[in-house]
Structure 1
């Protein structure tokens, strides 16, 4: 079968790079057309061989591979970019996503995962895929919720609860035994922290973040 996907490999570890060349080149549908060990050499390899996909180590001896991925995406919009790394932390995954990479693969992943990522990158360069992406997004959402909750002062949490009950700002001032101007300040700070512009926005955001719960009215 004739190879249909061409690949360049950029990895600073010589043994790893040649291991990847052997692994990828053994697939009948993929051929390695270029390789290098430095980020500074990557553009020349890509310009010379015009691969469909580049497999790029996230940490290179002379460059940040994720910054290089961003530069390559800007210069070569149709190029598939597979980021390969030992570091599977969520922040590295999200940096790869933000860089415009097509796929993110850990170096401990099965061979089939890397080959699948290359195939994906060859046909959907602008679409990101990574094993564990959904779980990472969930963890990031939970972290954001916790950050907002920790950012709210006890008074602001009390204001949020009273707003959710439908109380007006004057009523909140009365309930909390503070002046109207102080109550307005609490509400304003709460809106700022929730990124809201009004009561409805604040309540919807608080519901989404799990800061308050929606309770159905009791049935007599």
Structure 2
């Protein structure tokens, strides 16, 4: 690229934001022109800096990153948008695809992958890119009943009955640590961060009936 790509970073985690800004600053073809910690600051900083690419966290202190992405995309059709999210968030990945995001990268991705996503997003009209998209598509195509193991299905049922993690460990005759692992794995598969979200997603997938 003959000119430097102007990049704005919006991330509520100060350390992560610092790491991203340092990463961008070390690349000769990229130029950090702005940064922010709140979603509400994204639009103003993009407008002020005339950025080419916005690197945006999916989870912000004040707003949903996907909502911010949709708003920014509606205003700036040619802006490249790179969305950062946690591993295993298939729902977020597909929502990002539908929201006009240019690239999707996990928070644990290697630096080379983050830089590749930024450069990909810098080309207006380019296609959506996301490492793990093929695997996510395959998981989406799987019958919902094959998503969980028999043990995870049992844990889901107990969660749906309102049992605490400690009560689940007692019911399954396993240690509290093991029960926590089961629940964490279940949350990951269901793309959930808490009990309510897990139950809601499981009901949507037909894995749990409403009482």
Using the size of structure 2 for normalisation, the TM-score is 0.65
Of residues 121-130 and 24-33 in structure 1, the stretch that sits farther from structure 2 once superposed is 121-130
**Shift, 1:115, TM fit:** 0.3
Are residues 50 and 4 of structure 1, via their aligned partners in 2, closer, same or farther at CA, if it must alter by over 3 Å? same
5 Å-filtered alignment, 1:40-79, equals 40-79=40-79
Indicate the structure (1 or 2) with the bigger Cα radius of gyration. Answer: 1
Q: 1-side partners of 2:125 and 2:16: how far apart?
A: 24
Q: Residue 9 of structure 1 aligns to a residue in which SS?
A: strand
| Cα deviation 1:88-139 (Å, max 9, x = unaligned) | 3211111111111000001111100000000100014552100011111121
1:79, 1:125 within 8 Å by CA — same for their partners in 2?
no
Q: Which residue of 2 aligns with 1:13?
A: 13
Task: Answer whether contact 2:87 2:108 (CA < 8 A) is retained.
Answer: no
Distance 1:19 1:34 in 2: 14
Question: Given that residues 9 and 17 in structure 1 are in contact (C-alpha distance below 8 angstroms), is that contact kept between their aligned partners in structure 2?
Answer: yes
Q: 1 CA distance for matches of 2:119 and 2:46? A: 18
Contact 2:34 2:49 survives alignment (8 Å): yes
Aligned partners of 1:8 and 1:35 also within 8 Å: yes
Q: Which moved more, 1:111-120 or 1:1-10?
A: 1-10
Check conservation: 1:3, 1:28, Cα contact below 8 A: no
From the superposition, tell whether residues 48 and 86 of structure 1 become closer, same or farther in structure 2 (CA, over 3 Å): same
1:190-201 matched pairs, under 5 angstroms: none
| Total equivalences in the alignment | 147
The aligned runs of 1:28-107 (5 Å cut-off) are: 28-107=28-107
Shift of the 35–27 alpha-carbon distance from structure 1 to 2, 3 Å rule, reads: same
